[in-house]
Structure 1
Amino acid sequence: PGQPPPLVLVTRGAHAVAASPAADPAHAAPWGVLRVAAAEHDDLALGAVDLDPALDTADQLARLAAELAAAARAGGPAEPWTALRGGVRHAARLVAAPPEGPAAAVRVRPEGTYLVTGGLGGLGLRLARFLVERGARHLVLAGRGAPGAQARAVLAELEAAGARVVAHQADVADPGQAAALVAALDADPALPPVAGAAHLAGVLDDGALTELTPERFARAMAPKTAGAWHLARLLGGRGLDFLVLYSSVSAVLGTPGQANYAAANAYLDALASLLRAEGVPALAVQWGSWAEAGMSARAEDAAKAARHGEYRLPPADALAALAHLLAAPPEDAAAAVLRVDWAVRARAEGALPRLLSELARPPREEPGQGGAPAWDVAAAPPEERRRLLADHLRRELSLVLGVDEDIDPGQGFASLGLDSVASIELRNRVQRKLGLRLDLTLAYDHPTLADLADHLAEVVGAAGGPAPGSAPAGGGANGGAGGAARRLAAKLGVGLSSDG
């Protein structure tokens, strides 16, 4: 098959736009999935349209039909992430916050209780210190497990500083345990009323989108989504000073391998908007990677991330940003905090999505953009073509895996650390440089540098340098881009027409 038809996710009221202050968290979550899908499958024409919940169905269907027709004519949405409100089409952009002014004091009341769910992990303990340093004297830290050695040491330190700290074992994703936790707070005569809360609970279960099952989605989503919902409904009407939801930039940038996690965080972002509309001072902080603490500190390769221009946040800097956001809440209910050199990111990835156009200039055009393939090897004799491809592949593997370019041609990619997510990134980079559509299982079907160079030399020779959008080389176990589009449509619960 050739290029599959555009796949457009349609939601209604997923985002707070213009005169629509509230968002629907259930409709927002699939946007997180699709952002990751767009990163993992950059040869697919993906987009999302959010319809106006204030207009009747007939008007919305007419606007939607026009959007889909335009996408079909163009081979994909002109603006991948749009919201229709009235007669206006809004496009999503990530913009930089204005420079911080003089530091303002965060309102932390000694006579109030502060609840932190996920409070016994590394980030929760740092937040507990942050609150005590600013005057909190009553803390409740809740976690699914009993406090470990590190947590017990921090609890003792905080109590020595004059705070009363209570550790509760509770899974707030379970409605009964969440209700029991809040009831225990209310029943404790030594604890004053709850003045603020922060929801940090989360679980990672990373994998390529094609590998994620409903069970893996539930595992990653429940602690964040159900836990935040229960906490908001139990505490939202109590006149809190703040309700902070720890979200992630994965929901905005579409971190490959984290479709389930991105969906959970997109839900949190929309929930913060919904709560704001209800009068609750909610804030979703879309964190980048933290240094020294948090799930990303263990799960991510800092050297590889730095090659893409992303650097970990020192905890002191992250908490200073949190203090600023709490003291002067932004107009939007969600704000991203991350360290990125956008110029480095643009050079590493070759292009940046329109979402980031306000933050970075596009990289200087390299050979292959809008013209001949960047790897113009088709005219070379077969043996020279294979050598050139091997050299190119060494550089790409070095970027993708964060290893030296001195790679043994016979060494298996798996032993170099290539997992399912990295294999997709490698395939995406290679097919962009060659101007060819390649199969999703490319790196698994040809698992060494020598094997992959041989295969690509044959593909390029047989294809004669086709333009992007032609049929993928080889059928493969996953059925090429068309199969990827069908599986993605099934993940999102939508139909996919085969006639465009």
Structure 2
Amino acid sequence: RRVIAPTTPMQPQRHWVEADGALPIPVSSVLHQLVWEPRALGPGGPIQGPVALIEDAGGVARRLAAALGDDAVIVPSDRALPPGARAVVDPTALDAGGDAVAAQRALIATVGRIRELSSGRLWLLTRSAQRVAGRGGCAAQSLIWGLGRALARERPELRPPLVDLGEGDDPASEIELLLRLIGGDDPEQQSALRAGARSVPELRPLAPSPERLELDGERIYWVIGGLGELGLVLAGWLVHRGARRLVLTGRSAPHGGIQARLEQLEARASVTVRCGDVASPDDVQRILAELEAMGELGGVIHAAGILEDGLLSTSSDAAITRVLRPKVAGAAALDAALGDRRLELFLLCSSAAGLLGSAGQAAYAAANAFLDGLATERRARGLSGTSVVWGPWAELGMAARLGDVHTERLAHAGILPLAPELALAALDAVIRGPAAPVVLHRIEVEPPATPVGSAGAEPPLVELISSLPLEQRHAAVTRFVTERAAATLRRSIDPDQPLWDQGMDSLMAIELRNELSRGGVVLPLGRMLAAPEPSEIATMVLGALTAAPRPPLAAAPAALDEIDPELPPLDPVVSHVGAALGGALITGCLCWIAWLVLG
């Protein structure tokens, strides 16, 4: 093996502190956790069909169909969806159980059905994906939750609820609760059903743990993705916590810039570098065997991952698989190889994409939701496991290289970067914390004075239009679009120039489309991604209302097959920003308050 021995003095580059008094803000202000709270279900109501039920091997779809009667249409999982369904219920993820490989296949099949959908509400069912009241917690089932959260950002017109069923619950009671959910007007988009009751997730402040991690200098600590920026910082954190023997792995050998960072670590610890693919079980077993020939393993940090952003409508299955691979296949291979070894820490570096959702990052969201689920699953098995949902870091990663426009928009949304010393102090405070995912985010924003939909809220766009004479409508809608585009870009906008030429990128265009959707008009996704001039968007809005065969608020979105294949791609800088910002940039960040009660 190659061991890099100390050769140069360590350069001063501390990223940690010992007391809150030396930090810009208290550590406690950035600590949050996901908790599940009971929430009563309404009585439900008549279900207006047809409801398409994707057939699953476990029979959930058929039991629902029996209860729905003539309103139900059973659809084999390998068949196209019938046109005109008012709701689609997809329980096919249940068939994967705890098999991560089968769960990835189920996710890709679900994405295929999402591409077919142009209208109707999509219900995604899982079983034991979430740990609620001491029950459940299955990493493989968690994949669909990341997908669904991202879908809510990218395709809000589908209003996709996520429903997690309990293991071993009474099937009749389960169907009765599902009927009440599907037939009611329940505002919650995320629910867990357990023993005849429903719970919903909330994000709550987390008290710092008084217990600090002190590592054994004789044991070995393995950092996967250890040659990346975050991996190297976390390797330094391990050394600060007492580690003196590190193994850092990556897919390629370290280059010159990384070599300098390694030399800093060498001043206080021995550092062994190994190349390998974490998603390859053979590589994981090989490196683990070499590592344990050197000594006893004390802990593992998984900081590997890739980002390849793209909308679900245009992303290939191969691209989705590439994004899932290092986090899903990699973490699963690592968990299997480690077995029941008792480690001081098993840290998974997750992202808020999996918890909050982010348009254009569905695969990345699913991968991070898997990490959150794996940490919970390991804790339920009596093993170490912590998933840290990182917010944006300052001075590190893509967040440190954002342009002024995006940095200003984040600050305006109340999302501020974590200074490295604050991020590591926060990690100290939670590494011995709860089994649930720990969210480390710096959020400084006041709650809205008027809740969405309450008295005093702005009337829907269609109401504004219908109140005006025909000759005034185009100008009014143009002003509406221009004002919202200006708010998105945080600059003045020329209504007669394409928004793309004025600085709008793909994710901003989705945000603007979602704003129009909330106003009651859903425009073709492809046309909006082209970011035309506000005056043309106004023409599209009025055309959609004129063509609608029913009242405007119920207008169906245009089919996704109208998307122009020659659309400009996602902006190359913005498409990678979401990873550095924990997936919460733009669509996620600007909706943070709405997600304090997730859904």
Normalising by structure 2, we get a TM-score of 0.68
Q: 1:117 — aligned with what? A: 224
Select which of 208, 225, 230 maps to 2:311.
208
Measure, in 1, the Cα distance between the counterparts of 2:260 and 2:175: 60
CA deviation vs aligned residue, 1:170-207 (integer Å, no higher than 9, x gap): 1111111111111221233xxx3111110000001112
Q: 1:297 Cα shift? A: 4.7
Please list every run of 5 or more consecutive structure 1 residues that lacks an aligned counterpart in the other structure. 353-361, 480-500
The answer for the alignment partner of 1:73 in structure 2 is: 183
Give the match's secondary structure for 1:43: helix
Structure 2 residue 541 is matched with structure 1 residue 456: yes
Q: Which moved more, 1:413-422 or 1:121-130?
A: 413-422
8 Å Cα contact 2:513/2:522 also seen in 1: no
Partners of 1:196 and 1:242 within 8 A in 2: yes
Contact 1:304–1:399 (CA<8 Å) still a contact in 2?
no
Q: CA deviation at 1:443?
A: 1.8
Aligned to 1:489: none
Q: Among residues 318, 322, 326, which one is paired with 1:219 in the alignment?
A: 322
Q: Aligned partners of 2:120 and 2:386: how far apart in 1?
A: 38
For the structure 1 residues 464 and 226, does the alpha-carbon distance in structure 2 shift closer, same or farther, using more than 3 Å as the test?
A: closer
Q: Which residue of 2 aligns with 1:323?
A: 428
| Distance in 2 of aligned mates of 1:2 and 1:230 | 40
The partner residue of 1:9 within 97, 104, 124 is 124
Verify: 1:388 aligned to 2:476, yes or no: yes
Cα pair 1:382 1:457 within 8 Å, conserved:
no
Match of 2:157 among 23, 33, 43: 43
Shift of the 363–142 alpha-carbon distance from structure 1 to 2, 3 Å rule, reads: farther
Map of 1:308 onto structure 2? 413
Residues 10-409 of structure 1: pairs in structure 2 closer than 5 A: 10-20=125-135, 22-55=136-169, 59-60=170-171, 62-74=172-184, 77-98=186-207, 100=208, 104-160=211-267, 162-188=268-294, 192-294=295-397, 297=400, 301-326=406-431, 328-330=432-434, 332-343=435-446, 365-368=456-459, 373=461, 376-382=464-470, 384-400=472-488, 402-405=489-492, 407-409=493-495
Distance between the aligned counterparts of 1:342 and 1:66, measured in 2?
40
- Relative to 1, partners in 2 of residues 1:469 and 1:40: Cα closer, same or farther, differing over 3 Å? same
**How far did 1:420 drift?**
3.8
Shift of the alpha carbon at 1:9?
A: 1.1
Q: In structure 2, the residue corresponding to 1:119 is in which secondary structure?
A: coil
Deviation at 1:235, TM superposition (A): 2.6
Q: How far 1:168 moved relative to its partner?
A: 1.3
Partners of 1:465 and 1:310 lie apart in 2 by: 40
Residues 444 and 143 of structure 1: CA distance in aligned 2, closer, same or farther (over 3 Å) = closer
**TM-score of the aligned structures, taking structure 1 as reference length:** 0.81
Cα drift, residue 447 of structure 1: 1.6
In 2, distance between residues paired with 1:251 and 1:179?
28
Q: Distance in 1 between matches of 2:241 and 2:362?
A: 36
Distance in 2, Cα, partners of 1:461 & 1:404: 31
One-letter identity of the residue aligned with 2:476: L
Query: SS where residue 126 of structure 2 aligns?
Result: strand
Amino acid at match of 1:366: A
What amino acid maps onto 1:413 in structure 2?
Answer: L
Q: Percent identity?
A: 35
Is the 1:6–1:72 contact (alpha carbons within 8 Å) kept by the matching residues of 2? Answer: no
Q: What is the DSSP-based 3-state SS (H/G/I as helix, E as strand, rest coil) of the residue aligned with 2:333? A: helix
Give the letter for the 1:396 counterpart: R
Structure 1 residue 226, shift from structure 2 partner: 1.4
Aligned partners of 1:234, 1:444: CA distance in 2, in Å? 44
Does the aligned pair in 1 maintain the 2:310–2:360 contact within 8 Å? yes
Task: Give the Cα separation in 2 of the matches to 1:351 and 1:476.
Answer: 32
Instruction: Encode CA deviations 1:363-420: one digit per residue, 9 max, x unaligned.
Output: 984222xxx54872444355543333333222322333x3412x23343333344444
What secondary structure sits across from 1:289 in the alignment? coil
Q: CA deviation at 1:317?
A: 1.2
| Alpha-carbon RMSD | 2.9
Match of 2:515 in 1: 429
8 Å CA contact 1:437–1:471 kept in 2: the answer is yes
Q: CA deviation at 1:234?
A: 2.2
Look up the equivalent residue of 2:553 and give its one-letter code.
P
Residue 343 of structure 2 aligns to which amino acid in structure 1? L
How far residue 298 of structure 1 moved from its aligned partner, in angstroms, is: 5.2
